[in-house]
Each structure stands twice: as C-alpha cells, then as structure tokens.
Chain A
Amino acid sequence: MPATSRLEIPARTAFLPIAITFAEHAAKGFGLDSESAGALALATEEVVAALCGLDDPEMEIKLDARDGVYYTDLTITIPYTELALGKLNLTAAIDSEEDLDNIGWMLASRMVDSFTIDHQGKRSTRFRLRKHRQYPEFEGEASMPAPGALLVDVRPATGHDLVLFAQRMLQTGKPLLNRWLMDPPARLAGLVESGEYEVLLGYSDRGDPVAGIIIDRSFPELALLDGPHLIEQPDSVRHRLFHAVLERLARTSLTAVVGETLTEVPEEEMELLGGREFHLENGETLKTRAYYRALREEHGGMVWGTPWLEEFLRGEFRRLCLPRDLQMWQDLPERATPSVVSCTFRRHRSECRLRPVLAGHDIAENLAAHLRLAREEGYRNVTFELDLGQPFHLAFAEPLRDIGFRPGVLVPGAGKGDILALGARS
C-alpha cells in the first residue's frame, strides 16, 4: 500500500500557509529532494489560491499526498458546483495573452512534471500535481553483453538488472520514444517498484539482460507497451518478448495491449492502428507507429459518430474488422451551461491530452482557448480524445474539425466505446 497523507481545509486564503506546509513536508517525507518538494509546494499554493478565489468560503478543499515511489502526487479535490463549473476550465478567464500569467493552475503546471484537471461526473473536480523523484544521472560506461549472446529466457525483472538494462539501452544510442522511462537508468527500477509498471527482460545463456519490454499497468482496460528493445539481438526476439507479455496478461482484467514504437511493428503479432509524428521537447520529430492486440474475443457493439467522422470510422472499422453499429449523434437544443474539458500536461513528453467532461454552449471557444494555451506553453503534441461510447463527446467533433484537429488513431474498446484520438495540425 502506498503511503498517503490527507489535509482538509476551507477555501479561505487564511488556510493557504497550512496547505503549502503540508505539501512540502509530505513531499520531503515521501523522498523528494528539497528543490522538488519546494516546487510541488509552490504549485499547490497556486491551485489552492485560485480555488480560494472562487469566492465560496464554505467549500471544502481536500489535499491528498501520495508516495508513488518514482513520484509524489498532490491531489486537490473540491466538490462539484454548478457555479464554479466554467471557472474550472484551465482556460477560464483567459481573454488575452497577458491574462495567462494570472491563471494559478497554469502557473502550477509549469512547476510540476505532470498536471491533470479532471472531473468525476457531478461529484467532484480534481487537480493532480505530480513531481518526479530525482534519480542519479548515468555516467560512465555500462558493460555490454558478450557478442553473439543468445536469448534463452524472458521473465519479470526488478532492481539491478533493470538499471543495467537501461544503461545498456542508453549506451546503444538508439532513439527512444519514451527515453524518460530509462533515463536516468535507476528510474526504471523505481517504475517497477511502484507497481504501476512491469518489465520483462530477455536474458542470455549467461544470465545477462539483452532485451526488454516495458508494460505500463496503470490503466484498468489496457496495458501500454514500450518496446521491445533489443541489444544486439536478432529481430525474431521481438516475437518472443511479445508472446511473453501476452501470456503474462492473458487472464487479467485487461482487454488489450497497445503501444507506440519507432520500429516496424511485427504484423504477425499486432494490428497496426496508424502512425503519427511525435515531437520531442528538443524540437526533433519522430515518426511513430501505434499498434494494438486484443487479449479477448471481440463481441462488437454500438458506437456514436458524426457525419464528419463517418467515412474515417467506417474505414477503420472495416480495416480492423471491428463489428460496430455506428449511430449518428445529433446535437441537443442549445445548452445553458459552459463546456468543461479535462486536460493532462506531461512535460517530459511535451504532451497535452484533452478530453470532454461536459458539453456546453461555448465548445468552440473553449477548445480554441485550450489549443492556444497548450501552444503558448510550448506543448508540441496536442491530442483530443473522444470516447465513441459516450454520445455527448461527439458534441466536440465538429468544433475540433473547425480548429484544425484531424482523426488520428482509433483504439478499440479503450473507453466505454472505442477511443478516437484526434491530433492538432501544427
């Protein structure tokens, strides 16, 4: 069980110092260094101050600190209120570029490694601030496997083997889509220790790690794969690693594995979902391929679409052999409430992911503001995800088209229905 700590305060500025102290002490207690703990405390201050500015002194703010081994999370939760709804969008009250600096949660997002605003229906709204633990940089040279070392075993790994494998991968100089997972190498061991990741390593006959695949297990339906990564191994080793993953996940609650890779997808194992250009923080652009593998029988079902998306969706359903009853969504009469969007910023991937929370009267303006904000903040990969099993999500489709988003990858069964990821044209 991860260590956790909670503080509950009223939404009044008088309590702000308590929130800051709580965040800093919890972060230090969970192993962050002073600089990182300070940054998390400052980010907490920005969010709590912004919430106090909603002028609802009776509102209760909950702060939950959690030790995730390779990170510390500070989650700030407030109850759902109709009044606050529009103001809880990341872009609320941004009318000009000057206003950006006045927005507390935007400032907060700059101080942490990952920042998420999401909403639990009509129950609550959460702001999650995540600061990664610092690991020692890899310096020196890792011993590489003996030439001609043959892979004889694939098994889950922990600790030192993971560090050695990551060091070797970095030393190969191969481009890595998710370099962050292995750089610094000790982080890879931390990811596994957290329980959110598993790593299967392929060992040579000398017990040396020569290949690996990283499995992100933090989602209920899907496992996200990174790899396979090979160190002087023939391509056929990829199949061995994929099979080991499939056998390991076969009787779990997962319905599929998905991944993104820089190398060719072994088509015998995976279904290709599509490709995209992934922009790194340093300005480099990588061409990636997304793949998918169902772990169970596909039983089909009903999903929602719009006329704009119909051709794309029908083409993908045909190509991926997905039995789908596609229903056309129709807009409801004008809504009185503002629209709300969830967003996650991941600085190390230069990535901003947006999802609908509530449809409203201002979708077009709201989306445009979010896109502008993400670009102002320097995020190069902006994605909007529509769950085709949730009809209100389709209210966002045409407005997304109008500001330059285009359908990218369809991930079968990744939500209540299939998830369609749309990318913004740069």
Chain B
Amino acid sequence: MSFDLASLVPDYIQRFEPYTPSPPDDVLCRRFGVGQLHRMNNNENPIGPPETALEALRNYPPRDASVYPSGDCFHLRRALSERHGLEPSQFLVGNGANEVIAFVIKAFCGPGDNIVTADKTFAVYEWVAEFSGFQARLVPLKGFAFDPEAMALAVDERTKIVFVCNPNNPTGTYWDKTRFRNFMDLVGPEVVVVLDEAYAEYVEARDFPDGLSMLEDYPNLVVFRTFSKMYGLAGLRVGYLAASETMVDLIRRTCVVYSVNGLAQVAAQAALGDEQHIPNTLRVVRESRDYFCRELDRLGLGYQAGVANYVMVKMPMSDTLVYKRLMAAGYMVRPMTTFRYPNYIRVSLARLPVMEGLVGSLEQLLSAGKVVA
C-alpha cells in the first residue's frame, strides 16, 4: 500500500525548492580539474579567525565534547554585553544568523501575515518567510540601494517585519544615520524592523549607523550581527540578535536551546577580545578593494564596490558561464543571477596574491572571446 507523503505537506512547502549547497572543495577540485580552489563566493574573512579565537580553539578540552554547551550562551552574551554596553538579556545567540532570522519570523508572523524586504538582497529573509507560509513582499532596489519610501509604502496592516540589510549584500550600499532614522519614523512603531548588520564591522564610513546604539530609541528595532564575516568563524556558525529586553523575551520563545555548540561559544567569546583583528582585516580588505577596482577599470569592466568585503562585477557574458570558467582556473565566485542580477558576479575580497590571480583569469576569459559553437 503506497501513500503519497506529499499530501501531508502544505502547498507552500511543496512549492519551495530546497537549497543545494555546493559540494566540498575536494570534490569540486576533482570535478573541475584544479589542484586548489580559492573560495571567493561567501564573503569570508580573508585573514581567517582572530589569533585569540585560534588559541581558544587549540585550548578547548576535547573531553568537553561530551557535555552539553550552555543552552543560552551565558558567557558569550556577557562578553557581548561588555563589548556593546547593553544588558546580557538583550542578546539572543543562534546557530548562525540564518537561525536568528527564523527565530524572528516564527515569533511575529501568523497566517496571512507578510514581511517586507528588497528584491535584490540576502535571500534567506525571503526563503524563511516563504517556506513558513508567509508572503515576502519584495521591493525593487533604487539604483543599488534599499528604497526607504517604497519599502514604507509596501507595509500594510498584515506586515509584521521589515528586513533591511545594512550594508546590503550583494550591492554593498548602506543607509546612513539620517536615512535610517527617517525610515524608522516613517514606518512607525507598529512593525518590527530588522537591521541586518552582518557586515557592519567592515564599514569605515562615519555616517554609518550603529544599530546597537539605537535600540533604546526604537523598541521595535532588532539588530542582527554575526561571527561568520569579520570574525572569521563561519565554519562554527554563530550569529546573534540584539533588541530591547521585551523584544528579546518575545523572540526567545521560538528559540531552540543548545543550538550553538560549545566550541563555537568559546571561540566567539575569545574573538571579541582580539583588538588587532578588525584593523588588520580592514587593512587587507582596503588594499584588495583598491587594487581590484583599479584592475577592473583597466579591463573596462563595470562594478559596484560598496563598503563591505565584496565587489559586484558586471560581466559582458553570462555569469553562470563565467562561474564555470573561473572554477576551472581555481577561483570560486558567486554568479548573481540567483540574486536577480544577471551577468554580475560577486567577488569576496581576498589577499593580494589571490586577487592578482583572479584578475589574470578574468583577463584571459575576456580575451578568449565569446562562446563558439
């Protein structure tokens, strides 16, 4: 007797396509016939984790693997509290920022509700909403930036959350303090505004708003941060949100405890104590960005550099084809059709020798001409 399991699944799940992650590097190297693969597709830190985090990882007692970690990241939240001048109870830590996105959507959205975000931004807001059965209202970017007026107009009585990625992934644009405050005033207190600051530590502009410092002014504000980008701990999966205590108390009801492992908690806490890591990273990224933009100008390629550790490059051919050709040369970039930017690739900024190699491959690709049947 066969039974159609799909009949148990809601329509919005049946319609949803599971994300297919790329195979591990050893498999990709074998398939593309390269000895080494430079990952420049996920915006990881080019210099890796802070020294303090590496030391904490080395010193982690292996036997502690048999013990459950702190269920609410007790020490890590205290370290975040000291770092940012907020109460420990204003932080909620998750298994990467992706999990934190799910916490917020589960906490606030019910049947018939919607979220508002941009059409060309980090896809996970849209995905989590849709596979949870909620409408994702996607507002077109204006130029390469979030459009505050259009976002506010998209909000209706069923909108529970507005997601603003600042700086935006993949365009690297940002709202300054004034624009952000104006937006908060425009949407009012009746909708939750999530300010995703996954790349905030990369921004050196003085007018960039620090969401954490504005929590007191806006009880409906939730700020996301992560240890995956600047702190180089993407493999350990640690992200967190900060908000008013009332807000955190509501969101934590949907939070699964023990989702952040012990090793990750220790490394993240230690990472916060390394004062040299951020300036060192910024130096490498700045140098890399300057070099890459100069070379893109020389090659005659358009680009959108932004303020984070990635650059979008406009290619005169299919981005998915460019991806394959660069993979065959040992460079893994992100084709941007999936971000609704056909013919763009997003390149994570790496150390200079890697950037030089990539530029060489781009040059070869351009000089090789078009696809010939």
Which of B27-35, B163-171, B257-265 has 4 or more CB atoms under 8 Å from chain A? B27-35
Distance between Cα atoms of A247 and B343 in the complex (Å): 11
In the complex, per-residue mask of A304-338: 1 if CB is within 8 Å of any chain B CB, else 0: 00000000000000010111110000000000000
Q: Does residue B126 face the partner (Cβ distance < 8 Å to A)?
A: yes
In the complex, number of A-B residue pairs with CB atoms less than 8 Å apart = 91
Q: Would you call A321 and B338 a contact (CB within 8 A)?
A: no
User: Which among A68-76, A106-114, A250-258, A371-379 touches the partner chain?
Assistant: A250-258
- Shortest A241–chain B CB gap in Å is 12
Top 6 nearest A-B pairs (CB, nearest first) are A300-B31, A253-B17, A294-B320, A323-B31, A321-B324, A246-B342
Q: Bound state CA distance, A254 and B371, in angstroms?
A: 23
> Chain A nearest CB: distance from B342 CB in Å?
4
Closest A residue to B333 by beta carbon equals A297
Partner of B20, one of A243, A296, A300: A296
CB 8 Å contact bits of A250-288 with B (1 = contact, 0 = none) = 111100000000000001111111110000000000000
Most buried by A among B20, B123, B373: B373
User: Out of A251, A294, A300, which one reaches B340, CB within 8 Å?
Assistant: A251
Q: Bound state CA distance, A289 and B373, in angstroms?
A: 10
A53 at the interface (CB under 8 A from B): no
A-side contacts of B23, CB under 8 Å: 299-300
Q: Which residues of B contact A250 (CB under 8 A)?
A: 337-340, 342
State the CA gap A34–B87 with chains docked (Å).
77
Which residues of the partner chain A approach B123 to less than 8 Å between Cβ atoms? Answer: 251
Chain B residue nearest to A245 in the complex (CB): B342
Q: How would residues 66 to 108 of chain B score, 1 for a CB under 8 Å from any chain A CB and 0 otherwise?
A: 0000000000000000000000000000000000000000000
In the complex, which residue of chain B has the Cβ closest to the Cβ of A275?
B373
Given contacts A271-B321, A295-B337, A297-B335, 20 further A-B pairs with CB under 8 A are A246-B340, A247-B342, A251-B126, A252-B17, A267-B371, A268-B370, A270-B318, A271-B318, A294-B318, A294-B320, A294-B321, A298-B320, A298-B323, A299-B20, A299-B23, A300-B32, A319-B371, A321-B324, A321-B325, A324-B31
Q: How far is the CB of A25 from chain B (nearest CB, A)?
A: 28
Asked if B324 and A298 sit within 8 Å, CB to CB, the answer is yes
Contacts from A to B (Cβ < 8 Å): 242-243, 246-247, 250-253, 267-275, 289, 293-301, 319, 321-325
What 1/0 flags go to B281-313 for Cβ under 8 Å of A?
A: 000000000000000000000000000000000
Q: Does B317 contact A (CB under 8 A)?
A: yes
Query: Are A323 and B320 within 8 A (Cβ)?
Result: no
CA distance A273 to B321 in the complex (A): 13
Complex: chain B residue closest to A293, CB-CB:
B318
Can you give 14 A-B contacts (C-beta < 8 A)? A242-B342, A250-B342, A251-B340, A267-B317, A268-B370, A269-B342, A271-B318, A271-B321, A293-B320, A294-B321, A299-B28, A299-B31, A323-B31, A323-B327
A267 in contact with B370 given A251-B126, A252-B17 (CB within 8 Å): yes
B54 close to A (CB within 8 Å): no
1/0 contact string of B149-168 vs chain A (CB within 8 Å) = 00000000000000000000
Which A residues lie within 8 Å of B31 (CB)? 299-301, 323-325
Least CB separation from A244: chain B residue: B342
Q: How far is the CA of A295 from the CA of B31 in the complex (A)?
A: 20
Residues of B within 8 A of A298 (CB): 320, 323-324, 327
**A271 lies within 8 A of B335 (CB):** no
Looking at B325, B340, B370, B371, which has the most chain A CB atoms within 10 Å of its CB? B371
Minimum CB–CB distance from A184 to chain B (whole Å) comes to: 32
- Are A272 and B371 in contact, with the CB atoms below 8 A? yes
Tell me, rounded to whole Å, the shortest Cβ–Cβ distance linking B124 to chain A: 11
Q: Are B371 and A297 in contact (CB under 8 A)?
A: no
A320, B325: Cα distance in complex, Å: 9
Q: Which interface residue of B32, B324, B327 has the most chain A CB atoms within 10 A?
A: B324
Could you tell me if B338 and A251 are in contact, using CB atoms closer than 8 angstroms? yes
Query: Which B residues touch A247, using CB under 8 A?
Result: 340, 342
Q: Verify B338–A268 contact, CB threshold 8 A.
A: no
B316 at the interface (CB under 8 A from A): yes
Min C-beta distance of A240 to chain B, whole Å: 11
Q: Please measure, in the bound complex, the distance between the C-alpha atom of A271 and the C-alpha atom of B370, giving whole angstroms.
A: 9
In the bound assembly, the distance between CA atoms of A271 and B123 in angstroms comes to: 26
Q: Within the assembled complex, what's the spacing in Å between the Cα atoms of A243 and B342?
A: 6
Contact of B328 with A by CB under 8 A:
yes
| Residues in A neighbouring B367, C-beta threshold 8 A | none
Query: For B276, what are the chain A residues with a Cβ–Cβ distance below 8 Å?
Result: none
**Interface members, chain B 30-51 (any A CB < 8 Å):** 31-33
By beta carbon, the residue of chain A nearest B16 is A253
The answer to whether B22 has its CB under 8 Å from any CB of chain A is yes
From residue B90, how far is it (CB to closest CB) to chain A in Å?
33
A274:B370 contact, CB within 8 angstroms: no
**Hey, which chain A residues are within 8 Å of B339, CB to CB?**
250
Q: Give A298 to B324 CA distance when docked, in angstroms.
A: 7
> Could you tell me the distance in whole angstroms from the C-beta of A412 to the nearest C-beta in chain B?
10
A293 to B373, CA, bound (A): 14
* B154 to A: closest C-beta gap in Å: 18
Cα–Cα distance between A149 and B32 once the two chains are bound (Å):
47
Listed residue (A243, A246, A272) with the most chain B CB atoms within 10 angstroms of its CB:
A246
A252-B17, A299-B23 known; A323 vs B342 contact (CB < 8 Å): no
How far, in whole Å, are A274 and B328 apart by their CA atoms in the complex?
Answer: 23
Known: A323-B31, A323-B32. A297 touches B340 (CB 8 A): no
User: In the complex, how many angstroms separate the beta carbon of B3 from the nearest chain A beta carbon?
Assistant: 14
Contact B338 A295 (CB under 8 A): yes
Smallest Cβ-Cβ distance to B369: which chain A residue: A267
> A296 is contacted by which of B316, B320, B325, B328 (Cβ under 8 Å)?
B320
Nearest Cβ distance between residue A390 and chain B, in whole angstroms? 20
Q: How far is the CB of B12 from chain A (nearest CB, A)?
A: 13
Least distance between A262 CB and chain B CB atoms (Å): 15
